[in-house]
Structure 1
Amino acid sequence: ENGKWAKNRAAAKAGLSKKILTAAWGKTVTFTKYKAVKAGKLCIKINPYQTSQECAECGHIHPDNRVSQSRFVCQACGHQDNADHNAGRVIARRGVRWLLSGGYQPKESKRCRIFRQKEEVAIGPVRSESTPGESIVSHDIGNGIMQGTANQENLFVRRETPATTV
């Protein structure tokens, strides 16, 4: 009427969708796995496809099972429950079934260690391999250390003075 759009709350829905997308669900999964490992628990991901339409009692899947946002009534067996609670039970049952079928294979844990190179201290009249105009440069690359020589113009270089003989 009057050339205006009827209110359909599309802007509110768009705002909610944007908030959900920016909620960083990947970090939630990462933190959940981290906390589970720290507590000595198993954490697995289960496909949530049609969990809101599947009955936790008989396994019947149909869109009409989800009566409303919060109510679940199975059309086959008559089971009634809160929709979220029913979906949680379905996910738990799928996880147990997957574990019992042998689908879970534990990964071998990898350990990452950092080895630091100890500096050698020269005692007495030892001649350095670098000339007075060069310095030893070391770069950390992955797990190894690459060493080479560079001129004095380079920054962040450990200067090494050649030992002199008396």
Structure 2
Amino acid sequence: MGTYIYDAKRFGFSVTFIGIFCIAMCLASIAAFFNMFSLPKGIAAVVLIVAGYQIWNTFIALANPRQVTIDEHSIAFSAYGRTDRFVLDDIHAFTVREFPGKRYVRINEGGLLRGRYWVQTGFMDNGEALEAWLSEFEYQVNPNTVKAQARHSNQNYAAHKQQIEEILERDKRQKRTKSSTKEK
């Protein structure tokens, strides 16, 4: 639990600058439709769609939060003076897709305006603790998923690893004994 903040310089470039650049690309694409800018209309349409989607995710949906705050009762994602807060008891679906240095989090199936977040744990203060909390909470909310069952199996294996290895070693010795007995 705590507050996790995306490194200011990285956030400024990776999120804010890219969002502003996409605004410029949208304006250039719109200008191309009115023959104010030399760009084929097909390319302008593709650029408009891709850049518009990025602008939406950056400034409207807050898909790339600057700050994640977790307390006993809620989780909040914040950027640009706006916060999406979710009461933990009201969350019925919570999925985390794991990528190196980042997590894609969907809350209550996500939507166009809120509930879908790219959390850049690799560039956040104490990002490892945030990754651990996100994973643990996902298992609490969704205990019957294959991912949760695999985690449970891995924990059971780790807890009983020495016993399992002893049984496997005993079985190997018994097989060797049986095969040497058959040879005689």
Where relative contact order (Cα < 8 A, 6+ residues apart) is larger, the structure is 2
TM over 0.5, shorter chain? no
Q: Which has the larger radius of gyration?
A: 1
What TM-score, normalized by structure 2, do the two folds share? 0.21
What TM-score, normalized by structure 1, do the two folds share? 0.23
* Structure (1/2) with the larger strand percentage: 2
* Structure (1/2) with the larger helix percentage: 2
